[in-house]
Amino acid sequence: RKEVEQDPGPFNVPEGATVAFNCTYSNSASQSFFWYRQDCRKEPKLLMSVYSSGNEDGRFTAQLNRASQYISLLIRDSKLSDSATYLCVVNLGAGKSTFGDGTTLTVKP
Amino acid sequence: NAGVMQNPRHLVRRRGQEARLRCSPMKGHSHVYWYRQLPEEGLKFMVYLQKENIIDESGMPKERFSAEFPKEGPSILRIQQVVRGDSAAYFCASSRQGIDTQYFGPGTRLTVL
């Protein structure tokens, strides 16, 4: 079993749609959690950190469920510019971060 | 406030040559990480370093690969006797502390002919 597993995708959605990505992790000692996006195999860029209380940044909402070892990302009102690969990242502390393989999103007009 | 810098951005080597990839972390960051992304695959952790110390090299291939982060200067990822399978994008990231957000450089695309 992989340490971090994501929905394989790809997700193809029309503009304006709401889309949700899921991610599960296996190590209960994981300490911090992030979503990154990666465009066309350029460098990953931080989208948002994920907290147990949930956090929102504009059209993006991230949620963490420690009991179920589950992280989610919700994108509302999808834009063409949201097309990218979304990476779930779990940090064990001591510098050890594990990246999921990513979920590809394509938003179509 | 410059971000993470990597050079070269593109590197072409013939089989058997050496490749040296350099990474300068963001100002104020003393933790450096190297990742490899093979074509059509996800990011894979290679090594985590602090100044003059390798903290975690569990993702490094056992042979031909080495990394350092000297007291002065950039971090270096060195690949000796490259093979075609080493062709990949190599990303460096840095953070202020080991648990903090990692910020990525633009990567070095290595092509082995």
Residue in A45, A93, A101 closest to B99 by CB:
A93
Q: Do A42 and B106 touch (CB under 8 A)?
A: yes
Please write the tens of the pLDDT for every residue from B4-17. 999 999 999 999 99
Please write the tens of the pLDDT for every residue from B22-31. 999 999 899 9
Q: Predicted confidence band at B1 (pLDDT cuts at 50, 70, 90)?
A: low
Give CA–CA dist B102/A41, Å, rounded: 17
> B95 forms bridges with which residues in the sheet?
B31
Whether B2 has its CB under 8 Å from any CB of chain A: the answer is no
Question: For residue A31, which residues of chain B lie inside 8 Å, CB to CB?
Answer: 99
Question: Position A103: which residue type?
Answer: T
Would you state the pLDDT for residue A108? 96
Instruction: Tabulate helix, strand, coil % of chain A (nearest 5).
Output: 5, 55, 45
Q: Predicted confidence band at A2 (pLDDT cuts at 50, 70, 90)?
A: confident
Q: Which of A62-71, B37-46, B64-73, B101-110 has the lowest mean pLDDT?
A: B37-46
Give CA–CA dist A88/A102, Å, rounded: 7
Alpha helices in A1-109 (DSSP H): none
Q: Do B98 and A99 touch (CB under 8 A)?
A: no
DSSP B37-95: E-TTS-EEEEEEEETTEEEE-TTS-SSSEEEE--SSS-EEEEE-S--GGG-EEEEEEEE
Give CA–CA dist A87/B21, Å, rounded: 24
Whether B40 has its CB under 8 Å from any CB of chain A: the answer is no
Residue in A42, A46, A100 closest to B101 by CB:
A46
Query: In sequence order, which residues have a C-beta less than 8 Å from that of residue B18 and are 6 or more positions away?
Result: B78, B79, B80, B81, B82
Please write the tens of the pLDDT for every residue from B25-51. 999 899 999 999 998 888 899 999 998
* pLDDT, averaged across chain B: 93
Give CA–CA dist B61/B57, Å, rounded: 9
Chain CA centroid to CA A99, Å: 10
Q: Do A99 and B101 touch (CB under 8 A)?
A: no
User: Which of B26, B54, B99 to mutate to test binding with chain A, by most A CBs within 10 Å of its CB?
Assistant: B99
Please write the tens of the pLDDT for every residue from A7-42. 878 999 999 999 999 999 999 888 889 999 999 879
Q: Do A99 and B45 touch (CB under 8 A)?
A: yes
